[in-house]
Structure 1
Amino acid sequence: MIKTSNLLKRSACALAVSGAIAISAPTYANDTFNGTVKGVVSNAQQQVLENATVILKHKTKGVTRTITTNEDGSYTLRKLPVGEYIMTIEKNGYEQIIEQDLLVTVGGSVVFNNTMYSVGTDMETIEITGSSIARVNMESSTGGIVVTKAELERLPVETGFEAIALLTPGVVSNGEFGASSIGGSSSAENAYYLNGINITNIKTGIGSIGLPWEGVAQTEVMTGGIDPKFGGALGGIVNAVSKSGSNEWEFEA
């Protein structure tokens, strides 16, 4: 028979251990540092094409993802590393479609719809390509911008999370605390993420921990309509993804 006192001690110990783990464990925003590509493939008669092969290849990493379209001609490729891709769409009896510069951004969704044309006809035809890329994701109510490293190098601003945040409408500088006010919120109500890990300053809750800015590839600043996966932050979210290795040799002097 288990005594009540021992049972209470065990329960208190388990509660203390679980509380310590919850406090010490980093906060993750699952799958927020990748991108998504989706769309619908159809023919010239506006009929959807099933089992068309969609291939995405990352230009620098060499990562390749392949999927076939569903019965309604749609396809969705999730958890894609950010960067530029080469997209190829193939189906027997139709001309191949190749898109050389498809940019996938952090936390973003690129809608790429395509029209494929049949081959093997001898009659003279005039064809108008039907591919379209939607850069704005109308399925999400989150407001903000995404800034890539290439864009930042062309802008006359300092590097760092706060400098990028100030490029976003609705963000103002708070000189007293050295952190931005996003959407009218306090500087202590923002959250900063790197590769899905919360890097907000643990001691003050204001700003992020220091890190080499040269290692950041893309940064997303969210000012409103924040997704619950970010922990319900009252202010804005600065979501960054770091650079990673590629198949290209690079050096500096």
Structure 2
Amino acid sequence: MRAFRMPGWASSLIGAVAIIAVWWLASIIVPTTGTYAPVPSPPAVLETLVTDGIGFYWPNFSVTIAEAGIGYFWGNLIALILAALVLIFPFLDGVINQFAVITYCVPIVAIGPLAIVILGGAKTAGDPSATAVFFAALSVMFTTIVGALLGLKAADKAALDVVAVYGGSRLTQLRKVRLIAALPSILNALQIAVPAAFLGAILGEYFGKIERGVGPILVAAQVSLNSPRVWGLFLLCAIVAIIGFAIVGLIGRVIAPWSAGTKAGV
């Protein structure tokens, strides 16, 4: 008897419906204080999103997306270069792994003020904040370094030996064998780095010196206890992160279809 396998879209739909149902139930159960509802109902949040309109959200989200994109590019580029250096110069393995752990463990609250003092914020309203870009780049390094190293070190030893026998250097092994073998792991790491970069950019905006962005309007909504807007911003942030995650995943399937368990051309 063939086991029933639920399509991916169906499980995603059921999960979304379940989350909305739990959210709606929580909005009924959690007590309100006067007109303030800590957990607003989904219709109330949707009404706030429609009332605020794209003219309010897009100018702020576009800044944060730009910061996340810049940080994502530079953070991943540095991480991939560091991972490649480990394969060319093995004695750097411990140093680079420690650096990756530090980028993951360092308390953002502690280095946030330093980043503001050194890098500053946005020069003019609407420009990306250097601090937000820095935190976006910092947020992706650990995942990408670890994912790239795992993939690069998992290359077939026989293929590496063939390259070495024919006089190939470590750099040749990296280009001819390791990069191809590591491509699925690298693409998975890059996919996971998308929401991390977006979150890092928002955290960077929390330290101030920026007039536009998700961070400032989120802080303003919190201060004014505008819970429907806070929840609406949470939903929009989740949607942006999911879209970015899906886009990188789609690119990964096109570049390396075998990583998803499918055959090229199918």
Which interval holds the TM-score relative to the shorter structure?
A: under 0.3
Greater strand share, 1 or 2? Answer: 1
Greater helix share, 1 or 2? Answer: 2
Q: Which structure has the bigger radius of gyration?
A: 1
RCO higher in 1 or 2 (8 Å CA, sep ≥ 6)?
2
